[in-house]
Every structure is written in structure tokens, then in C-alpha cells.
Structure 1
């Protein structure tokens, strides 16, 4: 095929003129695209080790080597290689983006956060949503370790970084719930809806659990009705349908499912729930 033919031509070129660095680079890229990572890596290493090569070319080979390592799944080697690139050129955006992604894959959220901070300074971009995500992940790690005060602080920092970080509100509310501070948990989860109304369905189960603990489910119904009127996404209407069904209000539950399906005709979960209601109703008759 075309790839094999190109590789053959480039190989001949390298044999004829081994000083043509551009040919080495192109050959390495072709090997990588073919999935022959070992050969691609060897070519990058050859370029890096050759004397009298322009520093920029060596730097490009070092970056390509990092990409090869990452594609091969050698994350730690890739990380070390990209870090070497940033030692030579601290403002290399592509290298920093690769470093951040590797830290994310390794679940090293502290370093992912710090790397994104560097990118924000260099590119002058608005990355509050990404920084908040990293802070939430750091908070979840602290929570798993039982470091609840640290987790709480990180979730709050995520919220102050990006007010629409729904995940931060959800996990902060979970902390209060575990401490049996149900009112504070409910208040926090409701803030998630205020911050991002399109995700009002996400805290529904949590709110339901908290109100159940307080032995008062009526507020959850009021909350869902209010959300359905103000926001009206399919997920919220389905959540309201579930609440109404549990309250034995079958007709209104079906009405809410129908609204959900009008908004999202391929909403499988809504279709499934409607089928379950109709089947249960048929059996009762």
C-alpha cells in the first residue's frame, strides 16, 4: 500500500544520504503511523544522539520520542521525555499538554493541576473548568483517604475556581450527608442546580435520599416540579416521573415521560420506564 511504498522510498533515501535529517524524521513518523513504534523510537534516538545536529531538530526528535512512548503505552518514559522538552523550552504548549494528559492518565491530579496552571499563564486562556475538575479529583482522593477536611477545602476551592462545577457541589454535599448534616447537604446540592440548571437531574437521587432521612419527601417533588418548569430537559422530566410514580400518581408520571420523549425521542431510559409502568398497570388490571 501507499504507506509501505513511502517507507521503502524513504529507506532508500536514508541509505543514499544519511545526512538528510528531514528524511529520518518523516520515516519515523511513517513507522509510527504504521504502528511500528519500536522502529520509530530507534529513529528518534538516532537523531538525538547524532553529533553536529541543530538543537531545534534534536528538540523536535525528543518531542516525537515522547509521542512514540505515549502511543506505545510507556507513560513514565513519555512523561520524562516531555519534561526534558520543557526543561529546554518551558513554554512549549504541546509538550505541556501532553504532560498534563499523562498526569491525568496516571491520576496524579496535583501535577496535572500545576501543569494546567502553567498553560493558563502561557496561553492566557480561560481554563477554570479544567482547573476545577482537577481540584475535585484531588478532593475525591483526599475523601477516599479519610482526609475529610482536606477534601472539603478542595471541593470549596473548585467551586470558587469555577462556579458551574457541578461535580464539586455534588461531592461537597456528599460530605455533609455522611456527617448527617442533611440540611447543609441539601442546600449544597440545590446550589448545583442554581449554578447549572441543565444538570438539575444529577442531584435528584441525593436529594431524595436526604429528604427520606428527614422523613419528608414532599420537598423533592416541589423541587423537581420547579426544575421541570424552569429548565425542562428530558432528564428532569424523567426524574419527576419517577417521583410521581412512587407517589402513585400514574397518569401524571406518564405525562412527564411523554414530555421527556418529546424532548429526546431516543431517550432509552424514559422508554424503558414507560414500558415498566404500562406493564405493571396491565398486570394489575
Structure 2
């Protein structure tokens, strides 16, 4: 237990000791004429040292806090100590310190506002969101705390999925920063669109998607949602148009459209249209996904030889584990083919890797997973998670 509290104890010990030494020097100067001895060491300070020697860290901390009286000279030390407690996960101590600071009537406004902000952060980390929100709202009008408090409010609105409030707070933050946050606002409208879609409210979906386009028209999620709604309503041509917009908006998400577009062309019984789409896709989009989709289409049309030849040609110029796996799959499915033992073992190994390998990765923090998250679960950034183009068996 003592090891985890070394830093707070050092901070308190140094602050309390410095305070005592400063008081001794002042007393010595003021009493030099009278030749008085310096006042004795504060009893609580000695008691704290004894607790520290006996490895009773909790009581040592409480004792040093009592020695270090709260005033404008020591407020920074209390704030730093409270922040240290919060970072170490000791939320109760952080709350007590910051609440004690806020309650001091003679504290300077700057220190009081800082203490209120830190207290809001304590409540946020403790999950007491209503109290944190009240403090952040009060601090938004303070110019030095406006941006940080708006960020805190946005975090709360995202946690409770109050996307309307998140939009309002983010628009306010745009004005404070003087910089665009339109891609994030578009994501909030997409969240509202998905809620409307789940409720079967197509007019609500359309309204939110329109607002998302006005905020940031290059958000690929807009077209993926629009395509899904059109497909659900059996408007397959409309769905295809929506899905194809993704290639214009953000080509990183192009592979997300391959399976939905195949379904829509199948529903329209439009083989020629699907082949035309794949031919264009293979030219516009780098990576094996389009070539694999085309080879699989040839396989479904009983043109396995052509499918194998197509992937073989592609792999002669581009290295792709995914492409190679599908080539082995096509070869193993051909009754005229007989994969040798090592190749078949490689095919099985690649199948296991592909089944468990993350298919999405965050470009900001490196988080990876098998599901698409528009907001990274790790770093909480929007628009940073994208599909991976290939696997990495050696990692």
C-alpha cells in the first residue's frame, strides 16, 4: 500500500516541511532582537513522520493535510495532490481535497474555479455525471475554463448518448476554438439517424442524414446508413447509388460496400451491372478485396478456372495474404485440383488467422478489433477506425 502512495507522501511531506521551515525563518527574523529560540516543530508534522516510519500511509497523509493549511499560498499544492490522487485512482481522497478547497470562503477566484474544475473531473471519473455536468456548465462562462469544460460536457453527453446535447456543446466548442469540428457533428447526426432507423422512422432518418451532410458531406457513414435504409425498403437501385457514394466520400471504407452492393445487384438480377461495378472497383480501390469479390463471382458462375487465373495474375504483382488464402480456397474447392499437404495446411492456418485477426484498426491509438466502431472504444476519437486491407500473420 505504501508503495502506491509514495508520490503523494513526498508532495505532502515536502510542502508541510517547507511551510514549517518558512515559519521558523520568519519567527527567527522577527524575534532576533529578543534572542528567542525558534518555535518547536509542529506536533502533527512529527506525528505524520511517525506514521510514515510505521508504514501507516493513510494516517500519514491525513496528518500532513491537516498541517498544510489551505490558503492562497498552498492552494496549488492541494490541487496538485488532488490531481495525483485522481490519477492513481483514489477518487475519494481527490474528492475530499477538492471539496475542501471549494468550501474555503477566502480562496482567490482563480484557485476556486480551478478547484471546481478538478472537482468536476473527480465526479466524472467517479461516474457521478449529474454533479460533474452542473460544475462544467457553471464554468463554461469562464474564458480560461470554457474549452476544457465543454470537452467535459461533450464526454458526458456521449456517455449517456444524448446526441442533441452533444451537437450543441460541440458547436459551442467550435466557436470557442475557432476551428471546425464538423466531421464529429456529422457523426452525432448519424447516431440520431441510426436511432430513428431502429424505430422505423424513415423521415427522421432522412432528416438526420440531411443534417449530417450539411455538417460534413464526406462522411462515409451517411451513405452506409442511407443504403441500409433503402435496402430494407427494397429500393435496391437507390441503395446501390447510396453505397457507391462511399467510394467518393472516403475510399478507406470502400470494402464495406462490397457485400451490400452484391446483395442489391442480386436482388435486381443484374449480373452485368454487378460485373461493371466490380471492374470499376478493382481500378479505383487498392487492395485484394475487389479482386477476391470478382473471383468469387466467377466461382458462383461455375467459372472456377477463370477465378483462379484472375487471382493468380493479381498476386503476381501484389502481395496479399487474404488474396492468397482465397486462391487456395478456390483451388481446394475445384474437384480437379489436389492441393499438396503443405499448401492445404497453409490454407487451414490462414483460415484460422483470418477468423481471429482484427479487421479494423484505429489510426490514432492503434486499437484493433473485429467490429467497426465510428468512435474508437480506446481513445474515444471519432473517424479514426477504418478497415484493414490485409492480415499480418507474422505479428
Identify the residue that residue 259 of structure 2 maps to in structure 1.
Answer: 205
Identify the residue that residue 312 of structure 2 maps to in structure 1.
Answer: 255
- Does the 8 Å contact 2:124/2:132 carry over to 1? yes
Q: 1:279 aligns with which of 332, 340, 344?
A: 332
Q: Is 1:239 aligned to residue 240 of structure 2?
A: no
**Counting helix residues as a fraction of each chain, which structure ranks higher?**
1
- Does the 8 Å contact 1:234/1:260 carry over to 2? no
Q: Distance in 2 between matches of 1:242 and 1:273?
A: 9
Q: Which TM-score applies when normalising by structure 2?
A: 0.64
Seen in structure 2, the aligned counterparts of structure 1 residues 201 and 44 have a Cα distance that, compared at 3 Å, is: same
Larger Rg: 2
Identify the residue that residue 148 of structure 1 maps to in structure 2.
Answer: 202
Q: Distance in 2 between matches of 1:220 and 1:104?
A: 39
What runs of 5+ residues in structure 1 fail to find an aligned partner?
none
Q: Distance in 2 between matches of 1:31 and 1:101?
A: 21
Deviations 1:229-274 (A, max 9, x none): 1232344344334334433342145337737962xx5x5x545434
Seen in structure 2, the aligned counterparts of structure 1 residues 198 and 240 have a Cα distance that, compared at 3 Å, is: farther
Please give the residue correspondences for 1:33-72 in structure 2 after superposition, counting only pairs within 5 Å.
33-72=87-126
Q: Distance in 1 between matches of 2:129 and 2:299?
A: 50
Seen in structure 2, the aligned counterparts of structure 1 residues 261 and 63 have a Cα distance that, compared at 3 Å, is: farther
Identify the residue that residue 11 of structure 2 maps to in structure 1.
Answer: 10
Q: Distance in 2 between matches of 1:18 and 1:254?
A: 75
What runs of 5+ residues in structure 2 fail to find an aligned partner?
17-64, 339-395
Seen in structure 2, the aligned counterparts of structure 1 residues 188 and 74 have a Cα distance that, compared at 3 Å, is: same
Q: Which TM-score applies when normalising by structure 1?
A: 0.87
Single out whichever of 275-284 and 34-43 deviates more from structure 2.
Answer: 275-284
Single out whichever of 134-143 and 233-242 deviates more from structure 2.
Answer: 233-242
Q: Distance in 2 between matches of 1:127 and 1:226?
A: 33
